[in-house]
Amino acid sequence: MLRASSAQSAIITFCGKHYAIDGTTALRISQTARDVATKVLGQEQANAAFKDELARRYTEVKEFGEQRWCTDQREALSGGEVRIFKD
């Protein structure tokens, strides 16, 4: 769950520079995943776990390069029902 949340957060943070995104939908997915994690783990543990996962995800984006990471995400998400990337 937290990986899904961190991915959506990274899309919001980095990919809007390179592609048109639906930030509202991405934020909704991120928040829903965090809410589920909070119910399962409790507030304190979920917050700590999300902080660690978000740091890991941002490092991943920086290592791949923003544009490449966003392009990969765009391609991976292009076949789904929910459209995060508008173009």
Domain coordinates in residue numbering, the chain? 2-77
Residue with tokens 């919001």: 12
Q: Which two tokens stand for residue 86?
A: 């508008």
Q: Report the mean per-residue pLDDT for the chain.
A: 94
Cβ proximity of 6 and 56 under 8 Å:
yes
Alpha carbons 6 and 56: distance in angstroms, whole number: 9
Alpha carbons 25 and 44: distance in angstroms, whole number: 26
Convert the pLDDT of each residue in 30-61 to its tens digit.
999 999 999 999 999 999 999 999 999 999 99
Convert the pLDDT of each residue in 59-71 to its tens digit.
999 999 999 999 9
Q: Which two tokens stand for residue 76?
A: 């991976």
